[in-house]
């Protein structure tokens, strides 16, 4: 068959796939998903497990190692038959947590650790590289078979450039359909349908070749079995260790391979589809393996010695002149290779862009996270990642020489991805697994795998020197890559599998036991491990012991604030008789906590949050954290409002107080005016009444004289009152003009005593003085000070009720101030009145004896304030006691 | 028989003026300078009129008025109240307490004489 036609039909097939994918995408875009997501499509999409390795390599495997190839099918079969053990949990978690890749799953389980995401991504890329190389190799080989058109001369003169074309074409197809748009759930309906079609093509091709071999070449099943018995394949020995190892590693691979995870969990993720696939997919695998042995046997029998058994699928029909059948087989192999590469590179590109490119990019340009540019960057990074993955595959293909047996390369990749298994299983079933443990396990397993299997696969002297192979790393014998710890003679693959898995698991468990998970890790751990309890149990009360008190505390803190949360927890802990603030999460406590949280965030949210921790999850932890953070922000905001409200209240209180003060002042002013009115009207009343009486005449002369004297007295009283008011007003306004001069206290007291003598001159008053101590000079307004002295002495003369009234005047000088005390021997001023005597009109007893308007002491107080001094009442001195203090030198105040 | 007036006024000059005016008109005037015991005095002496100053030293004129009105024996005695404060509030309080007439100081002699005659004639 001409090579050109092969290329053409190849292109036509690709174009057909494009069309299928395009139509499916369009259908999905219109919302008519329907059968695009059905158990059948799901099962067929799972068939990407059967790559070119399976398609071509299984025959070669069988030709070399007999039935051992069956292990590659047995592993996945066991996993799917027992799907409810592990896969169901993965599917439910994948749906609940919106997992986008296996790296995302691991990272998510261990507290959204980006480090873990990077580690798993790196591991997946490195492990996938030989696998992708394997696909490129098989397609290149198959082209080579047609190019040479002879079974023996399968080598293509320019096979490297063919591989580049193949890689480029695959990259293009993947970019076109795998990165057309961004979907939150990373689902690609077009790609899935295309690989389902390819799954049919490869199955049909394999069955067709098998039927041709059995019925066309061998002459029927019975003859075929005879030939098989006669062939070398029948002589194979069962190696139990290797079988168990291979079944394990293929089972692990079907779970952990990025592309399998993509189609199994990410693209579909429905339990009922998986339930169907649990028998349909093993059936598909059975059909795929049914004719492997016959084809291998007939190939070995018919094909010349030395021909590559990996290519029997093609060379056998070609040698028999079945060009069309060979063409079909070629398309089957092509389908196997392309579907694998496409899905694998989509999965890897998602991981690389989500866990490596985007975190770095967002760190470099934090502001860009707000703009719409992110989607563009994501798509671009996916496309670049696809190109990079295929470039890596191509480079591995070139480096490894492209001649190693397909099956061997496939197994290297399987062991590599199996390193994720311990962490995955641990993460799903063991709450104690921690992030650091996961990192330790993955890195250890990865390193052991690379050292014992991956690097040696390039051959001695390529990646690892011959010396390392023979003497171990750095000459240490027990570090020989294929005889770790001195274990020799083991199958290299089993050796690598054993040590990598053992050391991986030991590191994972060991480090997990000695590290403590963070709060998010704990919550995620609970969500993962208890995923079914959430769905199975009813809505009534919370089960005992489900919830981690720490996780509850973290959540509560985010809602109620730190202090409040700690208080609640500490109170409950005390109630349970425990120290600290971590009570047991009893059902009652959890229910009570839910009600408390409901008060802050509403019942639905509170229930969702509690169920997240207790393990009945319907929303993702991330959503809840976001809700909690929002709530915290709202609380902060309302606290701010609260403080603003308090400030307003404070201001209002101050205003109210000011208003009360004003009202009080107003009342005082009214009272003052009322008092003035009284004080003015009283003398006016007498004056008016007696002047009217005098005007009417007809009075004896002595009464005229008496009434005239009353009028005169009252007029003087009026004048004095007006003088006092005026004086007070001037003093209070501070507009008083002080007349400063040096004055001798003794002389001032003399003046005051002389003036006050006019008050009740009939009383004999004994004055006690200490003249030497009075001989002090002060700089002050002498007239004003004398006015104060007169007032105090007059008051004593008026009010002292002693039989033999005495007044003691004492002068002291201390620290630049002078004090003058006036103490009489009367009954003094009652305690309750002492506070008001300096107020205006605070006359205590009836004015018949006083004759003043009650402004005297108020004026004294104002005078002393103007003189820079004070006047106060001294309680407990026996009689009425006043103290006047003033500075020795009063300086003229500026303005 | 001359009508008997009780004058309760703490300002001696004003009390003297009122006493002179009423005595000259033929009234018998008793004076008190304090409200303490005033109600009892009215009850005992059966005064025909009480002239009461609002501002008194020990107890206010209002209290004296209330005491007079509270006693059935004296409740009908007309009370003329005098004040120098002249605030509307005081007048209202006095009227609520049952004052017969309210006068603001200063007043003319004819005014107070007319008021006394009018209140006793009634």
A689 interaction partners in chain B (CB closer than 8 Å)? 14, 17-18, 21, 106-107, 109
Cβ neighbours of A690 in B, within 8 Å: 13, 17
CA distance A204 to A206: 6
Q: Is the pLDDT of residue A820 over 60?
A: yes
* Tokens found for residue A163: 């591989």
3-state secondary structure of A877: strand
- How would residue A102 be classed by pLDDT, with cut points 50, 70 and 90? confident
pLDDT computed for residue A842 by the predictor: 62
Query: What are A313's two structure tokens?
Result: 């699928």
Residues of B in contact with A674 (CB under 8 A): 85, 87
Least confidently predicted of A689-703, A723-737, A782-796, A872-886: A723-737
Cα A864 from Cα A884, distance rounded (Å): 8
Position of tokens 């399998």? A260
Whether the per-residue pLDDT at A794 is higher than 80: the answer is yes
Spatial distance between the Cα atoms of B91 and A893, rounded to a whole number of angstroms: 48
Instruction: Name the token pair of A323.
Output: 């060009």
Mean pLDDT for A441-446 is 90
Residues with Cβ within 8 Å of A236's Cβ and at least 6 positions away in sequence, in order, are A65, A66, A67, A68
3-state DSSP: chain A helix, strand, coil percent, rounded to 5? 70, 5, 25
Q: Is it the case that residue B18 has pLDDT exceeding 90?
A: yes
Q: What is the pLDDT of residues A740-764, one digit of tens each?
A: 889 999 999 999 988 888 777 788 8
Maximum Cα interatomic distance, chain A, rounded to a whole number of Å: 176
| Pairwise CB contact (< 8 Å): A846 & B57 | yes
pLDDT value at residue B78? 92
What are the backbone dihedrals phi and psi of residue B83, each rounded to the nearest 5 degrees, phi first? -145, 150
Q: Does A380 touch chain B (CB under 8 A)?
A: no
Assess B23–A contact: CB distance below 8 Å, yes or no.
Answer: no
What confidence score (pLDDT) does residue A603 get?
47
Q: What is the DSSP letter of A879?
A: B
The burial class, CB within 10 Å (0-12 / 13-18 / 19+), for B84 is buried
DSSP A61-121: HHHHHGGGGHHHHHHHHHHHHTTTTTHHHHHHHHHHTT--SHHHHHHHHTTS-HHHHHHHH
Average pLDDT of the segment spanning A598-604: 52
User: β-strand B79-83 against A766-768: which pairing, if any?
Assistant: unpaired
Considering only A12-16, A383-387, A603-607, A608-612, which range has the smallest mean pLDDT?
Answer: A603-607
Question: With 70 as the cut, is the pLDDT of residue A366 above it?
Answer: no
According to the 3-state scheme, what is the secondary structure of A441-509? HHHHHHHHHHHHHHHHHHCCCCCCCHHHHHHCHHHCHHHCCCCHHHCCCCCHHHHHHHHHHHHHHHHHH
**What is the spatial distance between Cα A74 and Cα A591, in angstroms, rounded to a whole number?**
48
Show Cβ contacts of residue A681 under 8 Å, excluding neighbours closer than 6 positions. B84, B85, B86, B104, B105, B106
Q: What pLDDT digit, counting tens, does each position of A873-882 carry?
A: 888 888 889 9
Encode pLDDT of A37-59 as tens digits: 778 888 888 888 888 877 887 88
Distance between CA atoms of residues A503 and A499, nearest Å: 6
Whole-angstrom CA distances from A818 to A776, A815, A838 are: 9, 8, 21
- The answer to whether A848 faces chain B, any CB pair under 8 Å, is yes
Bridge partners, B80 (sequence order):
B51, B101
- Cβ separation A685–B12 shorter than 8 A: no
Residue of A666, A667, A673, A678 for testing the chain B interface, max B β-carbons within 10 Å: A678
CB A435 within 8 A of CB A516: no
Q: How far is CA A795 from the centre of its chain?
A: 80
Region of residue A111 (left: phi > 0; alpha: psi -120 to 50; beta: else):
left
The DSSP-derived string for A641-674 is: HHHHHHHHHHHHHHHHHHHHHHHHHHHHHHHHHH
CB nearest to B106's CB, from A670, A674, A681: A681
Measured between beta carbons, the chain A residues lying within 8 angstroms of B21 are 689, 693
The burial class, CB within 10 Å (0-12 / 13-18 / 19+), for A773 is middle
Between A460 and A48, the more confident residue is: A48
pLDDT of residue A190 exceeding 60, the answer is yes
Taking 50 as the threshold, does the pLDDT of residue A561 lie above it? yes
Q: Given CB atoms, is B10 within the 8 Å cutoff of chain A?
A: yes
B36 touches chain A (CB under 8 A): no
Q: Kindly report the average pLDDT of chain A as a whole number.
A: 78
Whether the per-residue pLDDT at A535 is higher than 60: the answer is: no
**Which residue in A has a C-alpha nearest to residue B19's C-alpha?**
A689
CA distance A673 to chain B (A): 9
The tokens for A845 are 């007893």
| pLDDT category of residue A185 using cuts at 50, 70 and 90 | low
CB contact A674 to B (< 8 Å):
yes
Task: Flag if A677 and B86 touch (Cβ within 8 Å).
Answer: yes
Most confident of A133-147, A249-263, A368-382, B9-23: B9-23
Quick check: A632 pLDDT over 80? no
The pLDDT score that the predictor gives to residue A454 is 79
User: Each residue of A471-511: pLDDT tens digit?
Assistant: 666 666 666 666 666 666 667 788 888 888 888 899 989 88
* Phi and psi angles of residue B80, each rounded to the nearest 5 degrees, phi first: -105, 120
Give B73-103 pLDDT, tens digit per residue: 888 899 999 988 767 788 888 888 889 999 9
Q: Which of B92, B75, B2, B90 is nearest to B39 (CA)?
A: B75
A841 vs B contacts (CB less than 8 Å) = none
pLDDT average, residue stretch A839-866: 69
Q: Which residues have C-beta within 8 Å of that of residue A695, sequence separation ≥ 6?
A: none
What pLDDT does A496 receive?
Answer: 84
| Number of DSSP helices (H) and strands (E) in chain A, helices first | 38, 7
State percent of chain A over pLDDT 90: 6
pTM (2 d.p.): 0.54
pLDDT band at residue A711 using 50, 70 and 90 as cut-offs: very high
User: Strand, helix or coil at A530?
Assistant: coil
Whether cis (ω within 30° of 0) applies to the bond prior to A173 is no
The pLDDT of B39-43, averaged and rounded, is 86
Cα-only R_g, chain B: 13
Q: Are A60 and A310 in contact (CB under 8 A)?
A: yes
Q: Which of residues 65-104 of B touch A (CB under 8 A)?
A: 84-87, 104
Residues of A in contact with B87 (CB under 8 A): 670, 674, 677
Q: What pLDDT score does A789 carry? A: 92
pLDDT at B39: 84
Q: Is A31 left (phi over 0), alpha (psi -120 to 50) or beta?
A: left
Higher pLDDT, A892 or A293: A293
Confidence of residue A1 (pLDDT cuts 50, 70, 90): low
Q: Which residues pair with A292 in a beta bridge?
A: none
Cβ(B82)–Cβ(B54) below 8 Å: yes
C-alpha distances (whole Å) from A708 to each of A684, A692, B31 are 14, 11, 22
pLDDT for res A846: 45
Query: What distance in Å separates the CA atoms of residue A215 and residue A220, rounded to the nearest whole number?
Result: 5
What are the Cα distances from residue A763, in Å, to A313, A797, A798, A802, A803?
Answer: 148, 7, 9, 11, 10
Chain B environment of A678 (Cβ under 8 Å): 55, 84-85
Beta strand pairing status for B79-83 and A881-887? Answer: unpaired
Q: Which of A34-48, A204-218, A698-712 shows the lowest mean pLDDT across its residues? A: A34-48
Interface A-B, measured as beta-carbon pairs within 8 A, has a size of 64
Which of chain A's residues have a Cβ under 8 Å away from the Cβ of B106? 681, 684-685, 687-689
Q: CB within 8 A of A821, min separation 6: which ones?
A: A808, A809, A810, A811, A812, A874, A881, A882, A883, A884
A60 class by beta-carbon count within 10 Å (0-12 exposed, 13-18 middle, 19+ buried): buried
Average pLDDT over residues A661-684: 82
Would you state the pLDDT for residue A90? 80
pLDDT tens by residue, A305-334: 777 777 888 888 877 777 788 888 888 888
pLDDT tens per residue, range A394-434: 888 777 665 555 556 778 888 888 888 888 888 888 877 88
What whole-number distance in Å separates Cα of residue A872 and Cα of residue A265? Answer: 93
Mean pLDDT of A547-552: 75
Q: pLDDT band for position B49 (50/70/90)?
A: very high
A685 contacts in B (CB within 8 Å)? Answer: 11, 14, 17, 84, 105-107
Mutate to test the interface with B, among A682, A694, A721 (most CBs of B within 10 A): A682
Local confidence band at A229 (pLDDT 50, 70, 90 cut-offs) = confident
Percentage with pLDDT > 70 across chain A? 80
Q: Given CB atoms, is A702 within the 8 Å cutoff of chain B?
A: no
Residue A73 has pLDDT above 50, yes or no: yes
In chain A, the residue whose alpha carbon lies closest to the alpha carbon of B18 is A689
The whole-angstrom separation of Cα A751 and Cα A699 is 43
Of A334, A256, A330, A268, which Cα lies nearest the Cα of A44?
A: A268
Are the beta carbons of B86 and A681 separated by less than 8 Å?
Answer: yes
- Residue A893: its pLDDT value, please? 58
Which tens digits make up the pLDDT trace of A333-350?
888 888 888 888 888 888
- Residues A140-153 pLDDT 10s: 878 777 766 544 44
Indicate which of B10, B12, B59, B109 best probes the interface with A, i.e. most A CBs within 10 Å of its own CB: B109
Nearest to A829 by CA among A780, A788, A864, A879: A879
Whether complex ipTM tops 0.95 = no
In angstroms, rounded to a whole number, what is the distance separating the alpha carbons of residues A305 and A289? 24
- pLDDT confidence tier of residue A181, bands split at 50, 70 and 90: low
Whether residue A618 is predicted with pLDDT greater than 70 in this model: the reply is: no
């Amino acid at each position: 068959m001409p090579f050109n036609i092969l290329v053409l039909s190849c292109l036509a097939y690709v174009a057909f796939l494009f069309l299928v994918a395009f139509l499916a995408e369009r259908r999905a875009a219109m919302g008519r998903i329907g059968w695009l997501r059905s158990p059948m499509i799901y099962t067929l999409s799972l068939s990407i497990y059967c790559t070119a390795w399976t398609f071509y390599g299984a025959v070669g495997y069988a030709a070399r190692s007999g039935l051992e190839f069956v292990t590659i099918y047995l592993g996945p079969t066991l996993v799917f038959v027992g799907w409810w053990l592990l896969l169901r949990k993965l599917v439910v978690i994948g749906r609940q947590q919106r997992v986008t890749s296996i790296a995302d799953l691991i990272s998510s389980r261990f507290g959204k650790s980006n480090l873990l995401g990077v580690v798993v991504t790196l591991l997946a890329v490195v492990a996938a590289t030989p696998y992708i190389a394997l696909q490129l190799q098989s397609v290149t080989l198959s082209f080579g078979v047609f190019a040479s058109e002879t079974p023996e001369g399968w080598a293509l003169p320019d096979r490297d450039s063919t591989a580049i074309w193949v890689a480029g074409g695959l990259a293009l197809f993947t970019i076109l359909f795998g990165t057309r748009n961004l979907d939150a759930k990373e689902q690609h309906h077009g790609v899935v349908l295309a690989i389902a079609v390819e799954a049919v093509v490869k199955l049909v091709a394999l069955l067709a070749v098998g039927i041709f071999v059995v019925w066309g070449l061998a002459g029927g099943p019975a003859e075929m079995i005879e030939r098989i018995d006669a062939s070398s394949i029948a002589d194979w020995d069962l190696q139990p260790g290797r079988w168990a190892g291979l079944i394990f590693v293929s089972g692990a691979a079907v779970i952990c391979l990025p592309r399998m995870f993509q189609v199994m969990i990410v693209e579909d993720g429905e339990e009922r589809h998986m339930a169907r696939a649990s028998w349909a997919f093993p059936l598909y695998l059975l059909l795929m393996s049914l004719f492997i042995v016959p084809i291998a046997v007939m190939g070995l029998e018919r094909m010349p010695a030395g021909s590559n058994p990996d290519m029997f699928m093609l060379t056998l029909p070609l040698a028999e002149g079945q060009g069309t059948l060979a063409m079909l087989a070629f398309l089957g192999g092509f389908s196997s290779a392309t579907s694998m590469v496409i899905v694998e590179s989509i999965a890897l590109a998602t991981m690389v862009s989500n866990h490596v490119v985007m975190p770095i990019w967002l760190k470099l340009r934090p502001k860009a996270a707000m703009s719409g540019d992110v989607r563009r960057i994501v798509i671009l990074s996916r496309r670049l990642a696809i190109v990079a993955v295929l470039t890596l595959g191509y480079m591995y293909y070139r480096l490894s020489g492209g001649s190693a047996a397909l099956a061997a390369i496939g197994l290297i990749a399987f062991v590599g991805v199996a390193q994720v298994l311990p962490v995955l299983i641990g993460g799903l079933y063991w709450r104690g697994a921690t992030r650091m443990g996961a990192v330790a396990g993955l890195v250890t397993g990865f390193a052991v795998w690379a050292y014992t299997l991956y690097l040696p696969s390039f051959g001695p002297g390529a990646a690892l020197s011959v010396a390392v192979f023979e003497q171990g790393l750095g000459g240490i014998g027990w570090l020989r890559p294929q005889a770790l710890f001195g274990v020799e003679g083991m199958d290299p693959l089993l050796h690598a599998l054993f040590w990598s898995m053992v050391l991986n698991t030991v590191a994972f468990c060991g480090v997990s036991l000695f590290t403590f998970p963070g709060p998010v890790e704990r919550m995620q751990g609970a969500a993962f491990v208890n995923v079914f309890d959430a769905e199975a149990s009813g809505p009534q009360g919370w089960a005992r012991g489900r919830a981690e008190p720490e996780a509850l505390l973290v959540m509560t803190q985010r809602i109620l604030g730190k202090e409040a949360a700690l208080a609640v927890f500490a109170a409950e802990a005390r109630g349970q008789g425990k120290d600290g603030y971590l009570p047991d999460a009893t059902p009652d406590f959890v229910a009570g906590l839910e009600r408390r949280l409901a008060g802050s965030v509403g019942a639905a949210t509170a229930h969702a949050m509690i169920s997240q921790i207790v393990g009945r999850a319907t929303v993702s932890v991330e959503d809840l954290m976001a809700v909690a953070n929002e709530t915290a922000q709202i609380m902060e905001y309302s606290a701010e409002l609260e403080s603003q409200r308090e400030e307003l209240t404070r201001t209002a209180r101050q205003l109210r107080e000011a208003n009360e003060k004003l009202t009080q002042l107003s009342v005082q002013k009214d009272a003052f005016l009322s008092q003035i009115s009284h004080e003015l009207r009283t003398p006016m009343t007498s004056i008016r009444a007696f002047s009217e009486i005098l005007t009417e005449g007809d009075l004896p002369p002595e009464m005229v004289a008496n009434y005239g004297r009353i009028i005169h007295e009252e007029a003087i009283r009026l004048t004095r009152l007006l003088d006092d008011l005026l004086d007070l007003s001037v003093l209070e306004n501070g507009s008083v003009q002080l007349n400063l001069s040096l004055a001798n206290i003794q002389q001032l007291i003399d003046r005051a005593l002389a003036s006050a003598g006019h008050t009740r001159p009939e009383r004999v008053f004994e004055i006690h003085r200490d003249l030497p101590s009075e001989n002090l000079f002060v700089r002050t307004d002498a007239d004003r000070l004398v006015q104060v002295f007169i007032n105090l002495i007059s008051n004593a003369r008026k009010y002292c009720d002693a039989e033999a009234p005495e007044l003691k005047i004492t002068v002291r000088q201390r620290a630049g101030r002078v004090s003058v005390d006036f103490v009489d021997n009367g009954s003094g001023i009652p305690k309750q009145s002492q506070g008001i005597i300096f107020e205006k009109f605070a006359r205590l007893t009836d004015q018949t004896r006083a004759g003043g308007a009650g402004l005297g002491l108020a004026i004294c107080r104002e005078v002393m304030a103007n003189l820079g001094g004070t006047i106060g009442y001294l309680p407990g001195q026996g009689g009425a006691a006043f103290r006047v203090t003033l500075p020795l030198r009063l300086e003229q105040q500026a303005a | 028989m001359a009508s008997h007036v009780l004058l309760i006024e703490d300002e001696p000059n004003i009390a003297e003026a009122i006493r002179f005016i009423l005595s000259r008109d033929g009234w018998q005037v008793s004076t008190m300078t304090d409200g303490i015991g005033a109600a009892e005095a009215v009850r005992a002496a059966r005064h025909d009129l009480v002239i009461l100053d609002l501002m008194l030293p020990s107890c206010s004129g209002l209290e004296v008025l209330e005491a007079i009105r509270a006693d059935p024996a004296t409740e009908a005695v007309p009370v003329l109240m005098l004040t120098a404060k002249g605030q509307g509030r005081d007048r209202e309080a006095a009227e609520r307490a049952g004052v017969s007439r309210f006068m603001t100081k200063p007043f003319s002699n004819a005014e107070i004489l007319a008021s006394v005659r009018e209140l006793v004639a009634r």
